[in-house]
């Protein structure tokens, strides 16, 4: 699987937008870009995913660079409940290795200040 | 609650003892995964079931570890002769059928194992 690179940690103020970057320069044409987050003492939870176009859902937006070598998860108004570790993960669209298990990196720890 | 459940949530055991964890996936999900997470690290894949068949095992899964999913419903993960290095959070996840590249996985709250 192609690798992703994320900053170890980021800080944000409450109610301000947060942009979490992810580099994936070796992404293949069939890789989806997924984001999961893990709140303290909980299992990871799905946030959003995309292939080529920018995506929006109730939790966040995903902006994907035109060359797909990087992406940015956008939280429009950070709340204290958004403090978590955010993982950027690539998943092949078709290849069924181990049922497409998730390969987590270290993620970005987001701290939200009141 | 129709999410993934895991039992127990916490387990403290002495080195050398056997422990067993249970995972109940979302009922219509035929794919089930076990991951292990140590402090400060992201989760690492351990094993994968499609229905009752165990189709993939990570090299992390030593001979002391065994997982089952009888009847393709709940799953158990057993660790025999526990070692202090087994201390970790054990996470279970499930997903529905279809190409895996797009479908999300749903995680349980995990079982935190402490081996003294």
Looking at residue B104, its pLDDT comes to: 87
In which band, very low, low, confident or very high, does the pLDDT at B51 lie, cut at 50, 70 and 90? very high
Of B44, B91, B100, the CB nearest to A100: B100
**Range from A30-34, B17-21, B44-48, B96-100 carrying the lowest mean pLDDT:** B96-100
Instruction: Give A42 to chain B, closest Cα distance, Å.
Output: 5
In which band, very low, low, confident or very high, does the pLDDT at A49 lie, cut at 50, 70 and 90? very high
B27 pLDDT higher than 60: yes
Taking CB atoms and an 8 Å limit, are A43 and B110 in contact across chains? Answer: yes
The 3-state secondary structure of B5-70 reads: EEECCEEEECCCCCEEEEEECCCCCCEEEEEEECCCCCCEEEEEEECCEEEEECCCCCCCEEEECH
Contact residues on chain A for B4, CB-CB shorter than 8 A = 43
In which band, very low, low, confident or very high, does the pLDDT at A78 lie, cut at 50, 70 and 90? very high
**What are B56-68's pLDDT values in tens digits?**
999 988 999 999 9
């Amino acid at each position: 699987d192609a690798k992703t690179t994320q900053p170890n940690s980021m800080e944000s103020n409450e109610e301000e937008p947060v942009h979490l970057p992810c580099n994936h320069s070796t992404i293949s044409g069939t890789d989806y870009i997924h984001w999961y987050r893990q709140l303290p003492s909980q299992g990871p939870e799905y946030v959003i995913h995309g292939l080529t176009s920018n995506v929006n859902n109730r939790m966040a937006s995903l902006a994907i660079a035109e060359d797909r070598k990087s992406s940015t998860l956008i939280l429009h108004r950070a709340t204290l409940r958004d403090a978590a570790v955010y993982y950027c993960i690539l998943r092949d669209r078709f290849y069924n290795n181990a049922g497409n298990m998730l390969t987590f990196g270290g993620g970005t720890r987001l701290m939200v200040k009141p | 609650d129709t999410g993934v459940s895991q039992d127990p949530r916490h387990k403290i055991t002495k080195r050398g003892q056997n422990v067993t964890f249970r995972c109940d996936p979302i009922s219509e999900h035929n794919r089930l995964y076990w991951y292990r997470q140590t402090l400060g690290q992201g989760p690492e894949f351990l094993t994968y079931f499609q229905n009752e068949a165990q189709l993939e095992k990570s090299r992390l899964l030593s001979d002391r570890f065994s997982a089952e999913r009888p009847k393709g419903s709940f799953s158990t993960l057993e660790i025999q002769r526990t070692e202090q290095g087994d201390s970790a959070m054990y996470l279970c996840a499930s997903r529905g059928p279809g190409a895996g590249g797009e479908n999300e996985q749903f995680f349980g709250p995990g079982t935190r194992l402490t081996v003294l």
